[in-house]
């Protein structure tokens, strides 16, 4: 699971039936210091709670499939699985 | 499986049901020479690892489903073991919790 920041949302009317009722958002992967890393991607939101600017963690590829409501399977390859309240780490443990 | 180091922890209240009652750690994957590989990732703890520990990091789809006995758990990284010592046949530097850090 990787950290990311929610930077936008996507409205899509025509989509796969299993994605109906599911929020889609644009997320920017970030590192432990909350600096952007890599390019943004689209993810579904299995917590149904996210707002823009929020720090979240997401799963990608095969792990994202069973993240629909009540464990329903969805044809997605990135899904937000939780919202981060705090990131707490010690710089001295970070290898150089 | 990867060699990694626990560098911190993540507090999260709103989360997918598969993550409930599980400790989330911030881990940094390592190359075998102790250098960091990529950016830090979030992992679910299974062996009660603490901050600063060198750990074994399992990262595969289906791994968490088997360990926690939940069908289709959307969990990728799992802390599977604590590394006491990782030594090499050649002159490479040892890694592990029981290895004294260089001063």
What is d(CA B41, CA A32) in angstroms, rounded to the nearest whole number?
8
Instruction: Kindly identify which residue of chain B lies nearest to residue A77, measuring between CA atoms.
Output: B74
Structural domain boundaries, residue A68: 2-93
CATH of the domain at A60: 2.40.50.220
DSSP bridge partners of A82: A57, B15
Q: Note the pLDDT of residue B58.
A: 92
Split into its structural domains, chain A has a count of 1
Query: From the list B5, B36, B74, which residue is nearest A59 (CB)?
Result: B74
* Best residue in B2, B3, B11, B14 for a mutation probing chain A (most A CBs within 10 Å): B14
Residue contact B10–A93, C-beta within 8 A: no
pTM for the model stands at 0.87
Using a CB-CB distance cutoff of 8 angstroms, which residues of chain A are in contact with residue B52?
A: 90, 93
pLDDT interval class at B103 (50, 70, 90): low
pLDDT single digits (tens) A41-92: 999 987 777 678 899 999 988 788 877 777 788 888 899 999 999 999 998 8
Residues with Cβ within 8 Å of residue A27, at least 6 apart in sequence: A4, A5, A6, A7, A40, A41, A42, A43, A56, A58, A78, A80
Alpha carbon of B82: minimum distance to chain A alpha carbons (Å): 15
Mean pLDDT of B66-74: 86
Is any Cβ of chain B less than 8 angstroms from the Cβ of A54? no
pLDDT at B102 over 80: no
Domain boundaries, chain B: 2-82
Fold of domain B2-82: OB fold (Dihydrolipoamide Acetyltransferase, E2P) (2.40.50)
């Amino acid at each position: 699971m990787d950290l990311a920041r929610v930077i936008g949302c996507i409205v899509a009317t025509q989509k796969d039936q299993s994605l109906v009722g599911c929020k889609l958002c644009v997320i920017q992967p970030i590192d432990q210091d909350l600096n952007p890393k890599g390019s943004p991607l689209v993810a579904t939101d299995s917590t149904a709670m996210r707002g823009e600017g929020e720090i979240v963690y997401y799963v990608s590829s095969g792990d994202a499939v069973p993240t629909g409501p009540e464990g329903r399977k969805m044809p997605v390859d990135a899904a937000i699985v939780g919202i981060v309240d705090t990131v707490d780490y010690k710089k001295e443990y970070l290898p150089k | 499986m990867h060699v990694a180091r626990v560098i911190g922890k993540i507090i999260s209240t709103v989360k997918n049901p598969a993550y409930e009652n599980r400790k989330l750690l911030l881990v940094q994957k390592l190359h075998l020479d102790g250098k960091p590989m990529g950016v830090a990732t979030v992992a679910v703890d299974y062996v009660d690892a603490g901050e600063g520990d060198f750990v074994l990091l399992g990262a595969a789809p289906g791994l968490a489903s088997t360990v926690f006995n939940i069908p289709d758990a959307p969990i990728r990284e799992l802390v599977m073991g604590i590394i006491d010592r990782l030594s090499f046949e050649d002159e490479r530097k040892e890694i592990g919790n029981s290895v004294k850090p260089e001063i």
